Structures are given as C-alpha cells and as structure tokens.
C-alpha cells in the first residue's frame, strides 16, 4: 500500500464527548504542587542535583517558567469569579510511611513526604486559601484513596480543569479516573510538568483520544469567561 493510500484520520475524534462549558460546574484541580516533587529546593530537586541528573533542569525549569505562573493565573481567575478550587497532595499520613501502599512507600520515605514535613507542604507560591479543600492521597490517582468523587458530586462540579505534577503520573491518572466516572476533563498543557519531555508530550497526545480535552491556560480562561 502506498503512503498516499493510507487514511491517517483519527477516528476517535468522532466519538469524543462535547458538553457545553459551564463555569458554574467547573473546578480547578491543583495536583501535588508540593516541595517534595514540585520545587527545585525540595527533596526530589536536591536528590537530582546531588546525583547530577541531566533532566532536573527541564523538570524544574518548566515548573518555574510555565506551571507556577499559569496555575497562579488560573487561581486568580477562579477565585475572582467565585469558582471552586481543589488541591490534591500526595504523601503518607505517618512519618514512617507505613500507611502507604507498597509501590509508593519507598518514594515517600526517600523524599520525606509525609504529613507534617516541610516537603509535604504545598509550595508558597500556590498556597491554598483557608476555605479551599485539600485532599491527601497515598495513591497515584486521587479517586483511589480520597473522597474526591463525593466532594465533587456534593458541590455539583462535573467539569474539571487539571493542573500540576507530574503530567504522566498523578495528573493523568486522576484525569483518567475522572473521565471514567463521567466527568468532563480538560488537561491544561502549559500548567503541567514532568521529568521527561517525551512523557509529557505522549500524555498530552494520548489523553485527548477519548479521555478528555487539552487546552492552554489562555484558551481555558477565555472559554470559561473569567478574567485575570
């Protein structure tokens, strides 16, 4: 078959859910923007620097230049419009991390990521307001180990705008879980980061094949009709 005979149209697009955007039903989800893995001076950043990692510059450079400024812009917009903001954190409840599932325990221990530690805290640039919900998870996806689903349904929020770290891990897993539960999910590409650019790009490419949408921060602000 000649290349000119190949139909490369993505049939999945025909099946995508298209719901009217409604700010009243929207929630901004800020995922794991903690010192442990979301800040150059946190445990992961210090570890990567000590090991001479060649990807630390990409991860934390993207967080500093794109993710933090864009999440701040979205926070200002949602808060200014009286919208809902929900923070997710990841980490153990106990200092010995004995409450963590096996596949997460070593990472929590290595990064001092447990409630009460500095690394578990949300970074200063993105601190929640006193009236904003913070749900802590011990799993990669939030729906597996928090009451996020109950909270969202109680609040009447079914359109989720996802931000944070890491794109291909906690952000993506939570976003996929949400889609499977009937939520309309939008990944904000320039408000997410991970350690490897190819993993970020692959997640963005794959997520918009049936799971949900991918937008820029600017496009999200415009479609929601909120100003910054």
Q: What is the pLDDT of residues 40-52, one digit of tens each?
A: 999 999 999 999 9
**CATH code at position 214:** 3.40.50.850
Residue at 7 is within a domain: no
Residue at 65 is within a domain: yes
Q: Round to whole Å and give the CA distance between 113 and 133.
A: 19
Overall number of domains in the chain: 1
Residue among 34, 11, 204 nearest 126 (CA): 34
Residue at 153 is within a domain: yes
With residue 89 as reference, give the H or E element that holds it: strand 84-90
pTM for this one?
0.94
Say what the pLDDT of residue 184 is.
97
Range of the domain at 35: 22-224
| Mean pLDDT, rounded, for 185-209 | 96
- What are the tens digits of pLDDT across the range 124-161? 999 999 999 999 999 999 999 999 999 999 999 999 99
Residue at 34 is within a domain: yes
Residue at 191 is within a domain: yes
Residue at 174 is within a domain: yes
Q: Round to whole Å and give the CA distance between 16 and 205.
A: 14
Residue at 17 is within a domain: no
Residue at 11 is within a domain: no
């Amino acid at each position: 078959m000649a290349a000119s005979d190949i139909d490369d149209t993505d049939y999945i697009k025909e099946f995508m859910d298209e719901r009217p955007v409604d700010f009243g039903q929207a929630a901004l989800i800020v995922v794991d923007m903690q010192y442990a893995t979301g800040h150059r001076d946190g445990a992961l950043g210090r570890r990567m620097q000590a090991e001479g990692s060649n990807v630390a510059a990409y991860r934390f450079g993207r967080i500093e230049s794109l993710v933090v400024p864009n999440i701040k812009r979205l926070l200002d917009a949602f808060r200014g419009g009286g919208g809902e903001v929900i923070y997710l954190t990841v980490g153990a409840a106990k200092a010995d991390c004995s409450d963590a599932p096996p596949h997460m325990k070593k990472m929590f221990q290595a990064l001092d990521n447990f409630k009460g530690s500095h690394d578990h805290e949300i970074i200063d640039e993105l601190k929640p307001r006193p009236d904003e919900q913070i749900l802590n998870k011990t799993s990669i996806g939030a729906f597996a180990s928090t009451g996020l689903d109950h909270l969202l349904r109680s609040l009447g929020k079914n359109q989720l705008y996802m931000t944070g770290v890491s794109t291909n891990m906690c952000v993506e897993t939570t976003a996929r879980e949400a889609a499977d539960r009937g939520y309309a999910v939008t990944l904000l590409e320039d408000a997410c980061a991970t350690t490897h650019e190819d993993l970020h790009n692959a997640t963005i490419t794959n997520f918009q094949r049936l799971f949900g949408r991918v937008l820029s921060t600017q496009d999200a602000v415009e479609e929601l009709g909120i100003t910054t």
